[in-house]
């Protein structure tokens, strides 16, 4: 009898867990749909179209769920922006490795990160839209994401500060120009579809020239600073 009772209780517990997990799975699916919908609306209507009505319609859900699951429209948009941000998503694995293994941060690692950013910005239309958005308006959500991006980058820069402490190269200023150049060249190529300094990075040959220049710049900076890493 005791065994049967225990078996019955076990079955009851399993059923309870299944009933509880059902709504949790549905919530997760709905949240995912809403986050994806932000990106679709951004690409179709631009940032002026990012309102609760358009996002909910794109997701095929009641707009009340935005506030139920995310608390506010801004929180939902910020969730999307963080998921899409290169420094918080695509580069996360590389940066985590570097933070845990600071000795591995050298010219090869820096080049890998910048090349990855270059590739993604040229391909990802959503990220292009987000950067345009940030350049065009002042927005507290975009500022929040920018601040988080800086916090992530600071982990790498803090390591580089030690490597370049007595060097003639201002590594932070150097990288600021490299990253800004990648941003602008990528946006220029996709917005105008034209050349920059006679180089068309929409073409494989032009993109390869810029990629090599990025690598050469990094190697030159390390050489001038006499940092052997």
Residues 122-177: pLDDT tens digits? 998 888 888 888 888 788 888 888 898 898 889 899 999 999 998 989 999 999 99
Beta-bridge partner residues of 148: none
One domain, residues 75 and 119: no
Whether 127 and 207 share a structural domain: yes
Question: Per the structure, how many domains does the chain have?
Answer: 2
> Is the pLDDT score of 194 beyond 60?
yes
DSSP state of 1: -
**Of 59, 80, 101, which closes a domain?**
80
CA distance 3 to 206: 74
Residue at which a domain ends, from 46, 80, 114 = 80
The answer on 186 and 101 residing in a single domain is: yes
**22-31 long-range Cβ contacts below 8 angstroms, 24+ apart:** 27/69, 30/59, 30/61, 30/65, 30/69, 31/69, 31/70
Structural domain of residue 55, as residue ranges?
A: 2-80
Same structural domain for residues 155 and 122? yes
Identify whether residues 206 and 116 lie together within a single domain.
Answer: yes
pLDDT by residue (tens digit) across 35-55?
999 999 988 888 889 999 999
Give the three-class secondary structure for 200: coil
| Cβ pair 55, 72 in contact under 8 A | no
Residue 196, SS3 per DSSP: strand
**Which is more confident, 4 or 84?**
84
Q: What pTM, to 2 d.p., does this model score?
A: 0.77
Sequence-ordered alpha helix ranges (H) in the chain: 2-45, 52-59, 64-70, 73-84, 92-100, 107-123, 125-136, 140-163, 171-192, 204-225
36 and 96 belong to one structural domain? no
Pair 141, 221 in one domain: yes
Residue 68 and residue 169 in one domain: no
Q: How far apart are the first and last CA of the chain?
A: 71
Buried b (16+ CB within 10 A) or exposed e, 184-220: ebbbebbeeeeeeeebebeeeebbeebbeebbebbee
Question: What are 60-118's pLDDT values in tens digits?
Answer: 999 999 999 999 999 999 999 888 888 777 777 888 888 899 888 999 999 999 999 99
Which residues does 98 contact at the CB level (< 8 Å), separation at least 6? 104, 105, 109, 155, 156, 159
Same domain assignment for residues 111 and 184: yes
* Residue 45 belongs to domain with CATH number: 1.10.10.60
Q: Do 50 and 110 reside in the same domain of the chain? A: no
């Amino acid at each position: 009898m005791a065994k049967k009772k225990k078996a019955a209780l076990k079955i009851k517990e399993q059923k309870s867990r299944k009933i509880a997990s059902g709504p949790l799975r549905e919530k997760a699916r709905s949240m995912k749909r809403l986050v994806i919908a932000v990106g679709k609306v951004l690409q179709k209507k631009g940032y002026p179209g990012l309102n609760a009505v358009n996002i909910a319609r794109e997701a095929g859900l009641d707009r009340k769920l935005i506030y139920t699951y995310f608390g506010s429209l801004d929180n939902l948009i910020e969730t999307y922006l963080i998921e899409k941000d290169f420094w918080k998503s695509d580069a996360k694995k590389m940066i985590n490795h570097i933070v845990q293994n600071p000795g591995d941060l050298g010219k090869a690692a820096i080049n890998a990160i910048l090349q990855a950013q270059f590739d993604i910005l040229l391909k990802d239309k959503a990220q292009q839209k987000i950067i345009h958005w940030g350049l065009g308006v002042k927005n507290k959500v975009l500022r929040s994401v920018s601040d988080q991006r800086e916090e992530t980058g600071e982990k790498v820069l803090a390591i580089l500060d030690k490597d370049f402490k007595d060097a003639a190269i201002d590594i932070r200023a150097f990288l600021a120009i490299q990253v800004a150049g990648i941003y602008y060249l990528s946006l220029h190529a996709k917005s105008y579809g034209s050349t920059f300094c006679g180089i068309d990075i929409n073409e494989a040959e032009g993109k390869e020239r810029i990629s090599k220049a990025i690598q050469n710049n990094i190697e030159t900076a390390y050489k001038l600073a006499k940092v052997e890493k």
